[in-house]
Each structure stands twice: as C-alpha cells, then as structure tokens.
Structure 1
Amino acid sequence: MTTQISHFINGQHTAGQSKRTADVMNPSTGQVQAKVPMASSADVDAAVAGAAEAQKEWAAFNPQRRARVMMRFIDLVNQNIDELAETLSLEHGKAVADSKGDIQRGIEVIEFAVGIPHLLKGEYTEGAGTGIDVYSLRQPLGVVAGITPFNFPAMIPLWKAGPALACGNAFILKPSERDPSVPVRLAELFLQAGLPPGVFQVVHGDKEAVDAIIEHPEIKAIGFVGSSDIAQYIYSGAA
C-alpha cells in the first residue's frame, strides 16, 4: 500500500499547491511505499510567511519557557522511540538499532539546547572608557532554514533545529525527499510539546524548493549538510 506524505505547515498537514510528487522507496524491497509532495516556490512562500508570524510569539517566550518546550519534546521522543526508529528504518534502510542511534544523537543536541538560557545572557561592562558603558544583547534572527541529507534523517535535522529554536527563531526544514516521514513526525512532536504552530515548518522538495529557500529575503540564515558542490551553490545563492 502506497501512503501519501505531506508538508507540515502552520501546525497542519498539507499537500501544498504543487502537483508534483516523488517516490519514497523501501530499500529492503525496492518497492515504492509512499509519495511525497515536491514544494513549489509558492509553498515555500506560504511556509515562510507562517513562520515569520509565528516567530513573534515564540521569541516572546523567555528562554526558560522555551527550554521547557525542549524538555517536553525530549520526553515525547523517548516515548515514541520505537515508532520513530521503525519508520526511519523502513525509509532509509539502516537497522532499527542504528535508527535509534540516529535519533539519540539528535536528542543529545536538544539536551544541550535545554541549557541554552545561560548562553543567551548578554554582557555589560561599566567604565569601558571615560563615560562609556558597553553592553551586548543576543536576539533571535527571525526565520532560519535547514537543508538536510538522507543519511541521518533524524540526527541532522535536530542538530539544525534545536539551537535555532532554543534561541527564539522559527525554523523551516527541507529534509531529503528520500526519507521524509521522520522529520514530519518530529515536527508533530514539537507541536505536542508546546511549540506554537508555524515555528517548525517542514517543506519537502527538490531544486525548486531549495532555490526558493536560498533566495527568500525573509530567511536570515541557512544550515546545510551535504556535498561540497551543493554547499557552494547554496552559499553563492544565499550570500
């Protein structure tokens, strides 16, 4: 049976405006097990607009409150680890035990993000010069994005999302279209943990989606893991 995977935008599953899809294969059988939508630039625009609006509410959470959302997310992932690992294994092909390790490595970064309030403190220096006091503030960028590869479909998205969210940003994830289900499930769990709808968006796609992300003026930073050639392409387009 072929299932239909969706984007996750503004806390809801959506097929998007594009009619294009890609096959998601089961590596152990070589059979198509799901269809995933390929986002258009309009889909990316909708995700960014929703994220920009939701980020205002999220940034107004104090750092300790954001950390509590991260803590609840960790608990939810641990409660659902078997389901997540089975799904990851079916789409990626790695053993279930390795899939659990993939998820755990990502959770370790979320655990680090729980302690980020201490790192978000500004600095103040009195008397830096005659009649001069100096202070610094650490503030969210706004909407940021992550473009991640197929080989670690839980770990690398969480590497990107955890610090970004803990610092008060909204995060748009463009995961690999080859194993997209676990990233969507992680977004669902973040919502369940108390993250406001729209703060974590998942948009599937190919080059059209990537180009829309790197060219969008509202996206203030992009994280990427992949080949050097694609990294250079993203850097050149987004710089």
Structure 2
Amino acid sequence: MTTPQPLFIDGAYTAGSGSGTYDVISPATGERVGSIPLPGTEELDAAVGAAHTAQRAWARVNVWERAAVCRKVADELDARREELARLQSLEQGKPLAESVADVTEAAELFRLHAEDAVRLNGETLPSRDSSKRMFTFHRPVGTWAVITPWNFPLLMFAEFAAPGLATGNALVVKPPAHTPLTVLRAMEAVVAAGVPRGLVNILPGEGQFGDALVRHPGIHAIGFIGSSATGAAIQASAGLKRSLMECSGNGPLVVLADADVAAAAKAAVDGAYPCAGQVCCATERVLVHRDVHDDFVAAVVAEARRVVLGDPFDPATVLGPLNNEGVAAKMDRHLADARERGARVLTGGGRRAGMPTDLYYEFTVVDGVKEESLLSREESFGPVVPILTGRDDDDLLRMANADALGLQGAVFTRDMGAAFRFMEEMEVGQVIVNETNNWWDINMPFGGAGARSTGWGRIGGKWTLMDMTDTRTGVISL
C-alpha cells in the first residue's frame, strides 16, 4: 500500500489538482502505508458543491428508502470487515481484535440509525387558539463538515455518517491526518451500497485545511470529535453555525470504602489499555478511599500483569503502540512530572526498547499521584493508571469535580445511596456504576456535562438524530 491514496469527491476517487502529498506512517511497523494528496480550495469547493446538490435531492427521499440504503452500507461494511480491520490496525496501531470490533460496531451504527430515523416522530401540540392546529416535524440541517480523530477512524466517521445520512443530510469529512486510509477505503462500501453521489465526501487535510472547511460558506453545521483545544478553535471559526462537539475527557474512576476492590482494580486496568489508552473515556484518574488504598493498589498491580504489549497482529497482544510521537511525548512529560512530585511508578513507566518503532509504551501504574500533577490535571491519553487517595466520600467527590473536563466517570460502591449521589453530583455527562470508566454503548447519549470544556450535544441513539435535524413547527388555521 505504498501507492498514493486518492481523495473521495462526488462519488469518485480523485487525486485532486494539487501536487503536494503527505505520508501515512504505521506506528506498528514504522513503514509508509500510504501517500495522501493535499486538498486545496478547488477540492473543497467541489466537495461542498457536490454535497449541496446531492443533499437537496436526498432530503426529498422518504425516510424508509434512506433507511434501506443505510442498512445496505452496514452489509457492505460487514463484507469488508477483515480488510478494513487490518488496514485500521496498520495505520492506527490498535490490536486487530479491537479493529474488528470497531468495523462491526460501525456497521451496526448504520442499522441502528436506520431504525431510529423511521421512528423520529413529531408531535401535535395544544394551542390556546381553538382555530389552530400545531404540530412539529424534523428536517435535515443540510451539509455538515465532520472532523474526526485518529483513535477510532472508521467508528467515529460512522457516528456522524449513519445518523446524518438517515436524516437526509450530506457530509464533507476531514478524517485525521494520521489515520485517513480506513475511511477512504470504506468509501467502496458506500458506493456499493448505492449511496447517491456527493452525499459523502472525504478530504484528509493538514494545517489550515480544517479551518477552511468549517469557515466555508456552504457548510451549514459542524460535527467534531477530538481534543477540547481543537474544539475551541473550531467553534471560534464556526461562529453561529450549528455544532455537535464531543471533546476531551479526564474521567475519574472513584473507589469508595465499601467497593468490591478486586472488581474495581480489574475495571481500572480494563479502562486503561484498549486503544493504548487513547480513548476519551479511558481510565485517567483513579480516586481511591484511603481505607482500601493498599488492597486496591496490590490488586491493580496483579491485574496489570495480564496486559501484553506487542505486535497488534499477534493474537496474544492486547496493548499495541501509541499512534504518534505527540501522544508518546505527552506520556513522557506526565510521568517525568509525576516522578518529580514524589509519585511511585509501580509498573512500566516508559517506552519499550527493541520494538519496530519508538511508540510502544509499557503499561504503567503510578501510585501517590498528587492532585496538582499533570497525570491528574490533564488527559494523558496513554496506557496509564494514576492512583490518587481521598479521605472520605466528600473528598473523593471534590477531587472528581476538580477538573475542567466532564465527559464520563465511574464509581464503585455497594451502597445504592452513594451510587445515586455520585450519579447526580459528579459533574460529567455519564456515570457508570461498578463498571469500567471506559464502558460505552452505541445506543447511549454520550457527551459532556454543562459548564465543562467537553463540548455539547450527544453522540448515540436517537439523540444524535435530533442534534443533526431541525425541529420545525407547522400551524394550520381551521
């Protein structure tokens, strides 16, 4: 796969008009796996123009027909599951079993949102004027700019494309520069399923291309998954355009004094190694009641022994390399800061030598983490379990909420009253009780809490369809 990988505009692959390209390097092997043309103004205008034309016609297609096309996309993705999964692991670095699960889930999203769309109902509203009848209905917004991250390249594309197509929208997608190949290859499934030309356009880009995309006058709305810093920059450029933003998380896993310590330790580890910890709801901070601290730490160290770092194509591997040098260097900084502040690295703590690239990071457990440390204050986005200790439930809740981000959290307790307290008072969008912080379901409304720098709107189930449509009102005089 060292030949140039083209752009996808108006239903066809194209090399574009520019002469510039950039290489996609595998974090697993260090080899070049693709060369991507750099899109410019001409390609952006063509993609937005194609999307406009296609969307006007697609919005008039009845929802049952749109749903049937979405189900065909799911079938075509399923038929290409092995090919797409291997390509994703090559460019992203995650173990092959995780990539297979991602492709399977992406297909399932197209089926789920096909069913959601045909059940997206309006309602009849009572009017104070007896001569009027009011009712609501849903209409597509139009053409969406979709910007997705490199950790789940196909799945997070599907999180917007499935509800977007099902509700009559068109999309111009900028996949991540580090992992664009899987989404580009998946357009073969889109074409084979009969998705009308122009409804989905794929333009990987670097530098200022994303800003040009969201500022384009033909873009009506923005869908974004990624870091809070990038999300803030996008929103500053987007102005009053509709936006659906799912940004960074630094989610706490809280272990109360009455918790099942063994289950909590397993959950902490299970939340830290999938996708090498590069997940917005991964284990980022573990806040443990001091009465169970020692038992919990011993259990976490024991659980860490089952995490096998290695070649993502080896069936024994559960932890692959980090995706890029930027996130690896961030791990280095966070661990150096923790050591300087007196924390104890119990397992791992650095990059493994002798691997094909310098991105293979040891699974790491750190105890005695201070609240002011980078491991606590920032999203590390790597395979690390940072352990902090609290005095009591009030202290643990304070620590959980002492963060600018508020995406997802977890709490381990046998006390249902305490569970409900943390569900209601932890300032995150979702609280998972007695399960890993990394738990997610495609039908849950996933997103951040208000007054936090984690975005707004919801990814998952009918809630995404409602965010990607306008609620319109009709009034009829009798």
Name the TM-score, length of structure 2 as normaliser: 0.48
Q: Which has the higher helix share?
A: 1
Q: What residue in structure 1 maps to residue 330 of structure 2?
A: none
Residues in 2 aligned to 1:173 and 1:142: alpha-carbon distance in whole angstroms: 14
Given that 1:150 and 1:179 are in contact with CA atoms closer than 8 Å, whether structure 2 keeps it comes out as: yes
Structure 1 CA distance for aligned equivalents of residues 185 and 32 of structure 2:
20
Q: What is the match of residue 169 of structure 1?
A: 169
Aligned-partner SS, 2:153: coil
Q: Residue in 2 aligned with 1:194?
A: 194
Deviations 1:56-115 (A, max 9, x none): 221121000000001111111111101111111111111211111122232332222111
| Distance in structure 1 (CA, Å) of the matches to 2:128 and 2:89 | 56
Deviation string, structure 1 residues 156-198 (Cα, Å, up to 9, x no partner): 0100111111100011110012121211122221121111011
Q: Which amino acid aligns with 2:109?
A: V
The alignment partner of 1:22 has SS state of strand
Aligned residue number for residue 211 of structure 2: 211
Matches within 5 A, 1:5-16: 5-16=5-16
Gaps of at least 5 residues in structure 2 are: 240-478
Give the SS at the match of 1:137. strand
Counterpart Cα distance in 1 of 2:228 and 2:127 = 46
Alignment of 1:64-75 (within 5 A): 64-75=64-75
Q: Contact between 1:143 and 1:218, CA under 8 Å: does it hold in 2?
A: yes
Q: Does 1:79 align with 2:90?
A: no
Long gaps (5+) in structure 1: none
TM-fit CA distance, 1:120: 3.0
Query: Residues 184 and 137 (structure 1 numbering): CA distance in 2 closer, same or farther, change over 3 Å?
Result: same
Q: Which residue of 2 aligns with 1:145?
A: 145
Q: Does 1:35 align with 2:35?
A: yes
Distance 2:218 2:121 in 1: 26
**Is the 8 Å Cα contact of residues 146 and 174 (structure 2) preserved in structure 1?**
yes
User: Where do 1:96-107 residues align within 5 Å?
Assistant: 96-107=96-107
One-letter amino acid of the counterpart of residue 209, structure 2 = A
Alpha-carbon distance in 2 for matches of 1:119, 1:194: 23
Could you tell me whether the CA contact under 8 Å between 1:5 and 1:36 is conserved in 2?
yes
User: Paired residue for 2:220?
Assistant: 220
Matched to 1:9, the amino acid is I
Aligned to 1:49: 49
Q: How far apart, CA to CA, are the structure 1 residues paired with 2:25 and 2:81?
A: 22
Structure 1 Cα separation of the partners of residues 127 and 95 of structure 2: 59
CA distance in 2, matches of 1:116, 1:218: 27
- For the 8 Å contact 2:17–2:42, the answer to whether it is kept is yes
2:78–2:107 Cα contact (<8 Å) kept: no
- Separation in structure 1 between the aligned mates of residue 214 and residue 95 of structure 2, nearest angstrom: 34
Larger Rg: 2
CA contact (8 A) 1:40 1:208 kept: no
Q: Report if the CA contact (8 A) 1:128-1:134 is conserved.
A: no
SS in 1 for 2:221: strand
Could you say which structure has the greater relative contact order, defined with CA pairs below 8 angstroms and 6 or more residues apart?
1
Identity of aligned residues (%): 36
Distance (whole Å) between structure 1 residues aligned to residue 67 and residue 85 of structure 2: 25
Q: Which moved more, 1:152-161 or 1:182-191?
A: 182-191
1:59-138 equivalence runs, <5 A: 59-125=59-125, 127-138=127-138
Corresponding letter in the other structure for 1:210: G
C-alpha distance in 2, partners of 1:65/1:111? 13
Distance in 2 between residues matched to 1:169 and 1:188, nearest whole Å:
20
| Segment of structure 1 superposing worse, 186-195 or 169-178 | 186-195
Question: Residue 129 of structure 1 aligns to a residue in which SS?
Answer: coil
Cα distance per residue 1:176-231 (max 9 Å; x no partner): 12121211122221121111011011011013321121101211111111111110
**Which residue does 1:184 correspond to in 2?**
184
SS in 2 for 1:198: coil
Deviates more, 1:63-72 or 1:212-221: 212-221
Give the TM-score of the pair, scaled to structure 1. 0.94
Alignment partners' CA distance in 1, 2:102 and 2:64: 27
